[in-house]
Every structure is written in structure tokens, then in C-alpha cells.
Amino acid sequence: MSVTPEPIMKIAMGFMAAKYLFAATEIGVFDVLARGPASLGELATSTGIPSRTLRIVAAAMVSLGLLEQDGCRYRNSETAEAFLADIPGRLDLRPILRYFDEIVYPRWEKFAEAIRTDQGQPQFSKFTTLQQRMFSAAVEVFSAPGAVALA
């Protein structure tokens, strides 16, 4: 039996996958591809993102199974099409992702500091108006028909 550090590295690098997902969602990759397959150049034009950096994001989404690549064209995976594209009548997880990226994720950056002390310093301060809107939009998604609870 050969022991490798692979499980540790997958966990440690998980934050990068999340940040790629947040970025792809924010720049509209899944929305553009909901209209049909597109080349990198077409995606770059539609999103306004330089091809060089968009290629990195697209490759990450392919490796995570959220985009599929056929030659030089990309399309949403079935999962991305169902939950990450702006398609009326479908469960839209983008508000949750925005909430995680903008509000939850930054709080976790100080997690080790929070557990080192016993002062019980709250990690969530009062929301700004924008943060409250993001939180409310995420709650709406969690309470929508067909929504799944976080594991």
C-alpha cells in the first residue's frame, strides 16, 4: 500500500476551485454558454474578459466538470446548465455563490485566529445594505422548491 499526500492536497487546494467557480459565475461564463457552445474568442467577446485569462478560467471549469470542451468550443455541463445559467424556471445557485464569495469566504480567512482565542469574537458583524441583499437572495434560493440543504 502506497500512501500519498493527494487527499491532503485536494482539501488544501479546494479554495482555489471555489474561487474559480465564483469568478466564472461573476463574469458570466455560464450565462453566455446557456445560449449555446462558444469558442474562447466568442466567450472573451461576450464576457469582456481577455482571452488569456479566460482560457485559465475555462480550463479550470473543464477540470471541475462544469464546462465541457469539444475541440475549440466550450459548453455548459448538465450541472452548470441546470444551476448556474440564467434560465427562467430553474434553480439558480448564483446568489448563494455570490454570498459565499463576498461575505462567508472573507470571514473564513481569519478562522485560525478566531479559534486561537476564547474571547468568542463574532465572525459576522452587522451586514451592510448590499450584504443584506446578498444574504436575503441566498436565503431565497435555499428556501426555493427543489433547493438542497448544505451537507
CA dist 59 and 29 (Å) reads 12
Residue where a domain stops, chosen among 83, 115, 133: 83
For 56-74, b where at least 16 C-beta lie within 10 A, e where not — what string?
Answer: ebbebbeebebbbeeeeeb
41 pLDDT exceeds 90? yes
Q: What is the pLDDT of residue 121?
A: 56
Confidence of residue 120 (pLDDT cuts 50, 70, 90): low
Residue at which a domain ends, from 83, 103, 126: 83
| pLDDT tens-digit readout, 69-89 | 999 999 999 999 999 998 888
How far is it, in rounded angstroms, from Cα 88 to Cα 114? 41
Give the domain range for residue 125: 94-142
pLDDT of 151 over the 50 cut: no
Please check whether residues 10 and 78 belong to one and the same domain: yes
For residue 38, list its beta bridge partners: 74
Q: What is the dihedral of CA 144, 96, 74, 65, to 10 degrees?
A: -90
Residues 22 and 71 in one domain: yes
Domain count, the chain: 2
Which single residue is written with the C-alpha cell 467557480? 21
Q: What's 28's domain CATH number?
A: 1.10.10.10
Report yes or no on 151 lying in a domain: no
Write down the pLDDT at residue 122: 59
Is the pLDDT at 101 greater than 50, yes or no?
yes
Domain co-membership, 132 together with 105:
yes
State whether 67 and 99 are in the same domain.
Answer: no
Strand, coil or helix: 89 = coil
Residue 148 domain-assigned?
no
Residue 150 lies in a domain: no
Residue 110 pLDDT more than 90? no
Residue that finishes a domain, picked among 57, 83, 109 = 83
